[in-house]
Structure 1
């Protein structure tokens, strides 16, 4: 049986101990950066989960001076992740969209419904998405839902880090961006030929009295 020198065992123990200390330090620093909003960048946001993004925005909004800011429950939030009162005392519902893909209609539909549910004065979407679909922009115009885009978010972070909280608030409270739309373009007008109403696989034969109405 080969005997292991005592000094070797001690050296191994010390090496393992130092390794544990280094790893613990790295983990601690990562956690510190993750939770300190003054050090968060857009690249950090891109690595966040949806729930992390909601928590980050809550702390950011309070740090910017929106003292009346509230998080909704993680489940059954009815489309809103946060509520806050802006500088004009307008109650605002917020949906946080931490996604890499293009943001679509769903976000507007959900936050607009949340505005009605919570009895809010206005609705806001804050997103890290790189693009916004045209239908999303059109529906946001129709429903007066404001969207804080990725570029807006980057600017808010920059202003916040410089201590320019009022300017950051101004970006959040910008009026909604209008997009040209015509609701009639979304309507399918079907002709009732010879008193026959048809749609897909379904039909109904109109009576003469109904045709004359």
Structure 2
């Protein structure tokens, strides 16, 4: 399987839609899509007059391995005003990039303990959630590397790629996407309005992903 499209590649496709007069939303919320396809996560949504377009960016070599797109396109055709566009991009030129070191087991344990102190003693839920995300990212990237996906991906793309490779399942994906959004809010200085329940949810997901990783390693 080819590497997943990167954010700059998706942005270049989005710019082509802007040049044609579309408004582009690179972070469409689920309720922006029609109910019939609300479980689907497009790379972006483009809007113009009465046109609503969900856009999936795919490498040409991966198109044959994505038969769900045909069914999905038919679902969109049943919804007035909507359609699905599949934007094809070429394979990236091979580049020799040094592989970045991921967190060790000791690093993960230390960060998990630090996150717990931040959340439970200091009530700094933003700091705690951010630390939990770094642990999750290390665990997911390690498993993706085992599947020959070497790129360091932005949070939301990481969640989508981990799901497509079978690293996370249907039950984990919505929580992972939620946490990716929270992580982005915290990192970019936006008000996240986190509560203790959010902290607990992030902590539980972190433990689950670490347990899944351990199970996969032991089973390989």
Structure showing the higher helix proportion among its residues: 2
TM-score after normalising by structure 2: 0.28
**Structure number with larger C-alpha Rg:** 1
**TM, length-normalised to structure 1:** 0.28
Which has the bigger relative contact order, CA under 8 A and spacing at least 6? Answer: 2
